[in-house]
Amino acid sequence: MHGDTHPTALKVLQAVFGYDSFRGPQQAIIEHVMAGGDALVLMPTGGGKSLCYQIPALLREGTAIVVSPLIALMQDQVAALKQNGIKAAYLNSSLDYHEAVEVENQLRAGDLDLLYVAPERLATARMQMLLEQTRIALFAIDEAHCVSQWGHDFRPEYRQLSQLHQRFPQVPRIALTATADVPTRGDIMEHLQLQEAALYNSGFDRPNIRYHIAENQGNAKEQLLRFIREHHDGEAGIVYCLSRRKVEETAIWLERQGLTALPYHAGLPAEQRQQHQTRFLREDGVVVVATIAFGMGIDKPDVRFVAHLNLPKSIEAYYQETGRAGRDGLPANAWMAYGLQDVITLRQMQQDSSAADQQKRIEQQKLDAMLGLCEIISCRRQALLHYFGDHLDAPCGNCDNCLTPPETWEATVAAQKALSCVYRTEQRFGVTYLVDVLLGKSNERITRFGHDRISTFGIGKELTANDWKALFRQLIASGYLSVDMEGHGGIKLTANAKPVLRGEHPLTLRKPSHKPSKAKAARRGSKGASATHSHGPLWEALRQHRRELAEAQGVPAYVIFHDATLAELVEQNPQSLEALGAISGIGARKLADYGEGFLDVILTHQATEQTN
C-alpha cells in the first residue's frame, strides 16, 4: 500500500486495535518506518512500543520479522495479535518440528503479517535461507538493550543481528527498548549498526506509577498487608524480597491472611516456577512473592502494584522492578518498606563482595544513590528521572513526598551525640548497643566494657530508641558512618563525620515516622493510587465473563480485553453493539467475537439492578 500513509495508519489503529488516536511519538515513528527508514525507539515501559512496528507490519508489503528474546513474551504477543484478527506466528524452541515447518510454509506463502523469532534462531542457516525466500516488510528488534553488555540482560546472540543489515540492506529496521541510558544507547547504535537511524527518545517517566517509600516500623509484613488490603484488594502484584527464605515466609504468611500469594525464586523446581508464573499471568488477583529472578519478560499489563520488602541495590534495579507495574497506563503503586537493617545488610554485602575494587566502588555509588532516594524529602520522581539524565520541571504530585510532604527536624545536636557515642565506644559496636548507651541503659555488656562511665552514657534520653535507630540509619545512609567489614556490624566514623562533630555542618533530616494510630491509619487510607475502575457488581460480572473466555482459549485474561477496556465498559455502559465498538480496545475483530457476549452481561446486569 502506498500514497498518503497517515490516514491509513490511523484507520488501522482504529479498526484493528480499537484505539482512537496515537500516543506521543507513535505516529511519527510509524510514518518513518513505513517510508523505509531505520529507527531507534526509546520509550518507557507501557509507552506503546509494539504498535510502532505492528502497524507498519500490517501496511507494508510482506512479513515483519520481530526479534524477541523471551519465549513467554512471544507467545502472549502472538496470542494478543490473533485476537485482533492479525496473522501472526512465532518460531522458537517451544514448537515441535511439524509445527515449525507449518509456520515456515505460511511464511513462504506470504500468509503472515508478523513472525516472532528468537535471536539464536535467526542466525541459523535454515532461517537465513528461509528469509531469502521471503518478502520481508521490516525487522523489529525488541528489547534491543540485550545487545549491550552494560546492563544485566546481555544476550550474545543479539550481536549477530548486525548481519541483518548487511544481508538485507533495503529492509527497514526498528530497534526498541525501555532501557536507554547513554552507554546502552551507544552500544545499541554500534552493535546493531543503527548510526544512521532516526532516534525517538520519550524519556523514562512513568506518570501513572505512584512511588511510596515507607519506613519499616518493625513489622514490614503487616505494613505490606495493610497496603494491599487498602489499595489492591483482589488485584495482581509482585512483592520483592532479598532472600529465598524471606520469599517463602512472606508467601505463606500472605496466604494465611487470605490472599492468593505464590513464591518464586531460583531454588524452586523449574516446574513449580513455571506453574506459578502461569497462574500469575492467567488468573486474576494473584500476588507473586519473588526474588529478583522474577519479572524479566513478564509482560502482564495489569500488575497493579510492585512492593519491596527489602531495599534494592541500585536505582536501576528499583526502577526496572517497579516498572513492571501499570503497563496498561492505569494507576499503579510502587511501594517499599525499608529500615536500618536493610542499610546495614546491603552495606555489609557490598564490603564482603569479592568484586574488584573498581567494581566495588561502582556498586557503592549505586547503593548510595538508592539510599539517597529513600531519604530525600523532595519529589521522588524528579530525583529518579534526574538519576537517568531526564528532567522534570515541577514536582510530580504523584509520589509520597509530593502528596504528604515529610516533616524535617534540626538533627545536628542529636547527630553529634550519636557520632561521639560511636567514637567513645571505640567504633566497635552495632546500633542496638549504641542506642542502649545513649539511652543510659545499664546492662551486663555495657558495664563489662565500662561504657556506663563514658560521657555519652545516657545523654540521649530526649529521643526514643526508634528515633535513634532512624537517625543511625540516616547517618549510615548518608555516609557519615560506615559498617565494619569484618561482619560484626560494628559502626565506624567516616571522614564526613568530622565537620558534623565540629559543628561546621548542620544537618536537617527527615523526621522519623511513628507507628500510625488506628484512626490515623484509616485516614492514611486515601494515600496510594487506586485503579480508576469501581469494584462494583458490573465490574465483577465483566471480569467473570472475561475469565471464562480466557480459560476456554487458554490465554491470559488481558489478551481478551485489558482492564482499561472493562473499566470503560462500566463507565460508558454501552447499550448496543455499535456503542460497544466505540470503546477503546475493541477493534472490529473483537467486536465480532465478543461484542454480543459482553453486551449480554451489561444488559443482564441492568435487568437485575432494576428488579432489585
Residue type at 606?
A: Q
Write down the least CB distance from residue 401 to Zn ion, Å. 6
Site for Zn ion in 392-421 (CB under 5 A): 395-396, 399, 402
Residue type at 295?
A: G
Question: Residue 262 pairs with which residues in a beta bridge?
Answer: 288
From residue 241, give the alpha-carbon distance in Å to each of 117, 249, 265, 299. 33, 10, 10, 20
Question: Residue 128 pairs with which residues in a beta bridge?
Answer: none
- Closer of 212 and 381 to Zn ion (Cβ): 381
Angle in degrees, CA 483, 488, 489, rounded to 5: 30
- 10, 14, 15, 23: which one binds ligand ADP (CB under 6 A): 23
Rounded Cα–Cα distance for residues 278 and 274 (Å): 6
Query: Which among 609, 605, 583 has a CA at the least distance from the CA of 595?
Result: 583
- Closer of 397 and 487 to Zn ion (Cβ): 397
- Closer of 16 and 100 to ligand ADP (Cβ): 16
For the chain, the straight-line distance linking the first and the last C-alpha, in angstroms and rounded, comes to 55
Write down the least CB distance from residue 336 to Zn ion, Å. 15
Write the CB contacts of 554 (distance below 8 Å, at least 6 apart in sequence). Answer: none
Write down the least CB distance from residue 298 to ligand ADP, Å. 11
- Binding piece for Zn ion, criterion CB under 5 A, among 43-51, 120-128, 348-356, 388-396: 388-396
Using rule CB under 6 A, residue 574 touches ligand ADP: no
CA torsion sign, 227 to 233 to 235 to 240?
positive
Q: Which does residue 49 bind out of Zn ion, ligand ADP, none, counting CB within 5 to 8 angstroms by kind?
A: ligand ADP
Write down the least CB distance from residue 337 to Zn ion, Å. 19
Write the CB contacts of 18 (distance below 8 Å, at least 6 apart in sequence). Answer: 84, 581, 583, 584, 585, 586, 587, 588, 590, 591
Q: Which does residue 483 bind out of ligand ADP, Zn ion, none, counting CB within 5 to 8 angstroms by kind?
A: none
Exposed/middle/buried for residue 508 (C-beta within 10 Å: 0-12, 13-18, 19+): exposed
- Closer of 52 and 336 to ligand ADP (Cβ): 52
Binding mask 328-357 for ligand ADP (x = CB under 6 A): xx----------------------------
Binding mask 36-65 for ligand ADP (x = CB under 6 A): -------x-xxxxxxx--------------
Using rule CB under 6 A, residue 326 touches ligand ADP: no
Using rule CB under 6 A, residue 22 touches ligand ADP: yes
Write down the least CB distance from residue 574 to ligand ADP, Å. 18
Rounded Cα–Cα distance for residues 75 and 63 (Å): 18
Site for ligand ADP in 578-597 (CB under 6 A): 584
Q: Which does residue 237 bind out of ligand ADP, Zn ion, none, counting CB within 5 to 8 angstroms by kind?
A: none
- Number of residues interacting with ligand ADP: please give it, by CB under 6 A: 18
Write the CB contacts of 465 (distance below 8 Å, at least 6 apart in sequence). Answer: 435, 439
Residues that bind Zn ion (CB under 5 A): 379, 381, 395-396, 399, 402
Query: Which residues contribute to the site for ligand ADP (CB under 6 A)?
Result: 19, 22-23, 26, 43, 45-51, 301, 327-329, 562, 584
